[in-house]
Amino acid sequence: MTKNRNFINSSFWTLCMMGFFAILSSTMSKSPVLKPFSLSLGTPTDWTGIVASASTIPGILVSLPVASLSDIYGRKKFVLIAGLIFASAPFLYLLVTVWWQLILVRFYHGFATAIFMPIAEASIAELFPTKRGERISLFASVTYIGRIIAPTLGGYILFATGNNFHTLYLCVAIVGVTALIMALPFLKESKQVMSTKQHDNTVVNFKKIFHGWRTVIYTHGVLPVSLVQASLYYVYGSAEFFLAGYLPEVAKLNEFSTGLVITSIIGITIFARPYMGRISDKVGRRIPIILGCLISAVPMMVIPFVTSFWILLLLALVFGFGFASVTSSTPALISELTYKELVGTSIGFLDTMMDVGQTVGPIISGLILATSLRYVGVFLSLGILLILASSLFVLFEVPNERQWRV
């Protein structure tokens, strides 16, 4: 029993370390280098947004199909595929000579995260059936550390090398290869880590996959949970983007203060999410999700009326805590609402909705910003959306499952 427990813990921390290096690599490839690199290639102004968002499109396209395939063919081979993309994509940046090639490389690079994150979360849910909230949240916090370090590390490398983009992407490649090395232990055959199911043929049973999608979508509670997740990331993506404009333009904060306010959202999430996950494992998922939505809504509705740095910092911390409360429970809950054999599919569906929300949010918020309402309209709409999402979650009486259905 002790040996098995040690093996499971070892597998978990291997996934965490792979996630750290993988997200550090992918984030450093875009922040802060992507915009100046794309401008140096002569990217037309109306295509800069496509360059930035190209890597998010694969998340919408493949998170669900890949997660469903992992339910049938096992998790570990997809972890290795993601590792190969994390390791190979950075080298392609070195070959880019025209701006449209950068879009293709970004699109390819996006498949790594789109494959890895739902597979890793599904694997952890299987490894820790009674501690899903805490362990998935701890894994997420480790990846957030990589995400929060990346802009500073990337910025320092650019500064130290006189904006040498190729040197930066070589460093990104080294980190990406490290992520692949972390994945290599999964080549070893084992019954304990990540299901590796055998089949009589290699032809994908599409009918079975589509049936799994239908089962997950029609499972009571799945759509409201996914709606909450999409709404939260709609708000997060919009808030992160438009705070970068509101803080210097309206609040008149300098670059350092602006960065501190925005970074504090992820900073508090890193520390709060594992603890909130542990709480949700004990008291259930409903309370953290409902309260988290309401807590996150308050700062959004107050921000456009505040210009004080310290108050804005406090509001960002409050939003980050609410964000952590919700995201500590949604992956665990959706894996508990459906059948054990469809845990990958359920988390893949949740991640797809997350990517949709995070992609659509800044677009719609940008349209609101263009009206006479400006930032007041943007942030008030974000707060109202979270209140509506929380209300629908309560209205549909999403169950508070604690065990997988059988």
Q: State the pLDDT at residue 242.
A: 83
Mean pLDDT across the stretch 316-330? 94
- Determine the average pLDDT of the residues in 31-48: 85
Q: Report how far residue 231's alpha carbon sits from residue 308's, in angstroms, rounded to the nearest whole number.
A: 27
**One-letter amino acid identity for 2?**
T
Q: Does 7 score more than 80 pLDDT?
A: no
What is d(CA 355, CA 348) in angstroms, rounded to the nearest whole number?
11
Same domain, 146 and 240: no
Q: What is the CATH number of the domain that holds 78?
A: 1.20.1250.20
The owner of tokens 């900073």 is 267
Do 307 and 238 sit in the same domain of this protein? yes
Range of the domain at 156: 1-185
| Same domain? 180 vs 218 | no
pLDDT band with cut points at 50, 70 and 90 for residue 290: very high
DSSP codes, 313-325? HHHHHHHHHHHHH
Please check whether residue 347 lies inside any domain of the structure.
Answer: yes
Residue 100 lies in a domain: yes
Task: Return the amino acid letter for 366.
Answer: G
Distance CA(59)–CA(311), nearest Å, equals 35
161-196 in b/e form (b: 16+ CB < 10 A) is eeeebeebbbbbbebbbbbbebbebbeeeeeebbbe
User: Does residue 307 lie in a domain region?
Assistant: yes
pLDDT of residue 403: 47
Question: Last residue of a domain, which of 132, 154, 185?
Answer: 185
- The answer to whether residue 98 sits within a structural domain is yes
pLDDT confidence of 94, banded at 50, 70, 90? very high
- For residue 108, how many other CB atoms are within 10 A of its CB? 16
> Of 150, 185, 220, which closes a domain?
185
Count: domains in the chain? 2
Once rounded to an integer, what is the mean pLDDT over residues 98-126?
93
Asked, for residue 273, whether it belongs to a domain, the answer is yes
Q: Which residue has the higher pLDDT, 400 or 270?
A: 270
Q: Are residues 229 and 87 in the same domain?
A: no
Q: Same domain for 93 and 218? A: no
- Position 326 scores a pLDDT of 94
What is the predicted pLDDT for the residue at 1?
A: 55
4 and 32 housed in the same domain:
yes
> Residue 190: its pLDDT value, please?
43
pTM of the model: 0.85
Average pLDDT over residues 36-40: 89
Looking at the DSSP assignment, which residues form a beta bridge with residue 405?
Answer: 339
Supply the pLDDT for residue 401. Answer: 56
Based on the domain organization, do 261 and 362 belong to the same domain?
Answer: yes
Domain limit, last residue, from 151, 185, 219: 185
- 192 located within any domain: no
CA–CA distance, 236 with 358 (Å, rounded to integer): 7
| Co-location of 162 and 272 in the same domain | no
pLDDT exceeds cutoff 80 at 92: yes
293 with 393: CB under 8 angstroms?
yes
pLDDT tier for residue 189 given thresholds of 50, 70 and 90: very low
Long-range contacts, 38-41 (Cβ 8 Å, 24+): 38/99, 38/102, 40/165, 41/96, 41/97, 41/98, 41/99, 41/102
For residues 155 and 300, state if they share a domain: no
Q: Please check whether residue 343 lies inside any domain of the structure.
A: yes
Whether residues 2 and 92 share a domain: the answer is yes
Judge if 172 and 236 occupy the same domain: no
Is the per-residue pLDDT at 251 higher than 80?
yes
139 and 220 share one domain? no
Q: Say which residues have a Cβ less than 8 Å from residue 31's Cβ, sequence separation at least 6.
A: 150, 151, 154
CA angle 79, 320, 230 (to 5 degrees): 60
CA distance 309 to 247: 9
- The residue count of the chain comes to 406
Q: Note whether residue 196 is domain-resident.
A: no
